[in-house]
Amino acid sequence: MSTSGRRYVAIGNSIRNDLLSSNYKVGDRLPTERVIAEQYGVSRTVIREAVIMLELEGLVEVRKGSGVYLVTDPASVAEPQTASELKLTSNHSTQPDIGPFEMLQGRQLIESNLAEFAALNVTKTEILAMRNILAREKELVESGLPSDDLDKQFHLHIAQASKNSLLIEICETMWQRREQSPMWKQLHTRIDNTNYRLKWLDDHSAILTALQRKDGVEAKRAMWQHLENVKQVLLNYSDVDDDQFDGFLFDSYPLS
């Protein structure tokens, strides 16, 4: 799928053009995400991704608890869509970036079903390896140290437990895209609280318990809920509006 087909790119370009043709001045506050979402008829997660795109261009600045502000004259950054898309590529990839919420939605669809399949094929040795990863992850989290690499290892071990080479490759690719994503990194700069990592550690434990019991249904549910929790954290901590979170802001895949 080309970047031009992604809604956040088209909307980001439209917002830039609106700013260019309006009376906005540097320092002015943009309308709230809710207002812009209603204007375009999309969810606020799409608007949030469009704002991140414009933030990476240096056009706007997100001030937590205050809003989105114009920080650069739009005339100095306005450019064709193809040039804008190139800015979203990383130094390690020629592929255009994927919005963080779109990325999480894809992971939720794939990894929940992958966990269900892995539960049927996982071995005792693999369970022990995952248990060791969680033990080390717990030590780092409780010490306030970064644990992203162990988070990645845990998810990749689940993929490897499926014994399906294509599924393993897909999971590895998803993590590579996350690590190379400027939009993902930009979103994480707004998170000033790491307590969520304790919840995610509990999520990992629930997934491991289901795998150990070879309970595919529960493994799928636990993985789905874990990635749902990740989305909620990113939505809550990155929200630039003062109004409370609304459940309809992200259309989650219904777990059967």
Q: How far apart are CA 208 and CA 245, in angstroms?
A: 30
- Which of 65, 87, 109 delimits the end of a domain? 87
CATH number of the domain where residue 109 is located:
1.20.120.530
User: Is the confidence at residue 87, as pLDDT, over 60?
Assistant: no
pLDDT value for 19: 87
User: Is the confidence at residue 192, as pLDDT, over 90?
Assistant: no
CATH number of the domain where residue 59 is located:
1.10.10.10
Statement to judge: residues 163 and 79 lie in one domain: no
Is 245 part of a structural domain of the chain?
Answer: no
User: Which tops the pLDDT comparison, 233 or 213?
Assistant: 213
pLDDT value for 249: 41
Which of 62-71, 140-149, 169-178 ranks highest by mean pLDDT? Answer: 169-178
Confidence class of residue 222 from pLDDT cuts 50, 70 and 90?
A: very high
User: Is the confidence at residue 40, as pLDDT, over 60?
Assistant: yes
DSSP codes joined into one string, 143-193: TT---HHHHHHHHHHHHHHTT-HHHHHHHHHHHHHHHT-HHHHHHHTT---
Please give the model's pTM, rounded to 2 decimal places: 0.67
State the CB neighbour count (10 A cutoff) for residue 126.
17
The structural domain count of the chain equals 2
Enclosing domain of residue 229: 100-239
Is 8 part of a structural domain of the chain?
Answer: yes
Q: Which amino acid is at 124?
A: K
Statement to judge: residues 223 and 107 lie in one domain: yes
User: Is the confidence at residue 241, as pLDDT, over 60?
Assistant: no
